[in-house]
Amino acid sequence: MSDEVKGLIDVALKGDKKAIARLITLVENDEETAREVVRRIYPLTGKAYVVGITGPPGSGKSTLLDKLVKLAREEGHKVGVIAVDPTSPFTGGALLGDRLRMQRHSTDPGVFIRSMATRGSLGGLAKATNDAIKVLDASGYDLIFVETVGVGQIEVDIVKTADTVVFVTVPGLGDEVQAIKAGLMEVADIFAINKADREGVEMVYLELKMTLEFERDKWKELGWEPPIVETIAFTLRGVRPLWEAIKRHREHMESSGRLRERRAFRAREEVKTIIASSIARKVEERLASGEAGELIDEVVEGRLDPYSASQIVMEKLKEDLWR
């Protein structure tokens, strides 16, 4: 590892925000450096509790988060926030606008807010989100909020990241069929119906309640039934009950042993992701070779089927992987 990175880590661990910010940039921009950084700081991680906030675009995730940060600060937590917004698949650029709802916390020494662009990831988070969390964790932030991009139904990466998942929804999005579909609804630990002064809030409540009812046995076994909290982030109504629900869930996770289970699942997913991405890179390298080009030509001309071509490439890959 370069001395520069080492020095940066030392300063970051002392709490220097500039160094922390720089480290997050490094783990975001360069996979090799990310490996080195994580290797070095990993023994210091695992102390932070991670709360995920997810839900459709415009449901008020950032505004709710702003209020939650305030309550968490009042209780003495050092709070890290990672807010993810999408990268344009067309230009590679991004406009990160979650932070502007939380700017009053910018100058609070006990808060660190970082905006992150998805840079091609499709699961609602950025590839480097987990590593950024580790940097904040090791630097002494004991409560970390992660806000996903505005999500639809299947962007469930947040379960691979958060200890508690809050799903924020709003009235008026659709009928009860939406609520019983697969995906995100299944991973939430707490539901918040934000903008609860709008028409239709009773319907959303009933639909969520019914969906949960279907899975009564599952909740019984887990010892936790996801509460549904009505909130109006703007006037603070329901925000404290939401915060209390988060704390109750944390207590449940810690006392029931489920936290350990979830983190084991997460560690497994993380290892899997790293392996898959290393292999994917090797595959790309292999396919870029002239040899592979000839194989592809054969597939195009119909002399070789794609399965057989893959088999040949995979044989070669063995050498790349164990080299």
Partner 1 sequence: MVDRSKVRVVIAKPGLDGHDRGAKVVARALKEAGYEVIYTGIRQTPEQIVETVIQEDAAVLGISILSGAHMVLIPKILKLLEEKGLKLGEDVAVFAGGIIPPDDAEELKKMGVFEVFGPGTPLKTVIEAVDGAVKNLKGFRA
Binding footprint of partner 1 on the chain (CB under 8 A): 17-18, 20-22, 24-25, 29, 87-88, 91-97, 99-101, 103-104, 106-107, 112-115, 117, 119
- Report in angstroms how near the CB of residue 79 gets to partner 1 at its nearest: 12
Give the Cα separation of 57 and 95 in Å (integer). Answer: 14
Measured from the CB atom, is 2 or 107 closer to partner 1? 107
Least distance in angstroms from the C-beta of 103 to partner 1: 6
Cα 319-273-5 angle, rounded to 5 deg: 90
Identify the DSSP state of 232: B
Nearer to partner 1, 77 or 101 (CB): 101
How far apart CA 259 and CA 253 sit, in angstroms, is 5
Separation between Cα atoms, residue 53 and residue 124, nearest integer Å: 11
Report helix, strand or coil for 123.
Answer: coil
The CB-of-86 to partner 1 minimum distance in angstroms stands at 11
Q: Which residues pair with 54 in a beta bridge?
A: 167
Q: How near is the Cβ of 247 to partner 1 at its closest, in Å? A: 26
Q: How far is the CB of 205 from partner 1 (least distance, A)?
A: 32
Dump the DSSP string for 30-85: -HHHHHHHHHHHGGG-S-SEEEEEE-STTSSHHHHHHHHHHHHHHTT--EEEEEEE
Cβ closest to partner 1, residue 117 vs residue 193: 117
The residue among 33 and 211 lying less far from partner 1, judged by its C-beta, is 33
Q: Which is nearer to partner 1, 88 or 289 (CB)?
A: 88
* Closer Cβ to partner 1, 80 or 171, answer by number: 80
Between CA 138 and CA 80 the distance in angstroms is: 11
Distance in Å, CB of 17 to partner 1, minimum: 5
Contact status, residue 232 vs residue 197, Cβ threshold 8 Å = yes
Burial category of 258 from C-beta neighbours within 10 Å (exposed 0-12, middle 13-18, buried 19 and up)? middle
With residue 117 as reference, give the H or E element that holds it.
Answer: strand 111-117
Cβ at position 32, least distance to partner 1 in Å: 15
Residue 127: CB minimum distance to partner 1, A: 13
Pair of tokens at residue 233 = 């982030």
| Residue with Cβ nearer partner 1 (128 or 204) | 128
- Residues ≥6 apart with Cβ < 8 Å to 203: 171
Q: Which is nearer to partner 1, 68 or 82 (CB)?
A: 82
